[in-house]
Amino acid sequence: MGRVFTITLEGNFYSCKHCQTPFALADDIVSKSFHCRYGKAYLFDNVVNVTVGEKENRMMITGLHTVVDIFCVTCGSIVGWKYETAYDKSQKYKEGKFILERYKVMGPDGSLYLVAQEDAEE
């Protein structure tokens, strides 16, 4: 396997827990109040070093969305998804934004989020 070119991020960022490839700046977090099957998920304005999968329609708690899964460009593990289209007017702000599943990524301080961990904010 050849070396994959990855973009470097400066500052506090979230990265792949398997290979430490940087994905997104803490400053680009739009919301931390999302949930996925395995706990918390964060909504980001911008995510780098990912490849996208096939478009698919998914029914979520907030309605129907067209999404694509996103994968780490270095190790290929799935790390979240991107919203292509939101069909509910109130959800339009999510279009073009990215979800990183918290347990899939390492935090700015190197912290890992455990699936079973309960968050004090909730």
Residues that bind Zn ion (CB under 5 A): 16, 18-19, 21, 72, 74-75
Considering the complex, what minimum distance in angstroms separates the CB of residue 71 from Zn ion? Answer: 8
The two three-digit tokens of residue 107, written as one number: 């935090």
Q: Closest CB to Zn ion among 18 and 97? A: 18
CA distance linking residue 11 with residue 27, whole number of Å? 9
CB of 54 to Zn ion, least distance (A): 20
Measured CA to CA, the distance from residue 109 to residue 94 in angstroms comes to 27
Residue closer to Zn ion (CB basis): 41 or 86: 41
Query: Smallest distance, Å, CB 116 to Zn ion?
Result: 22
Cα(22)–Cα(89) distance, integer angstroms: 32
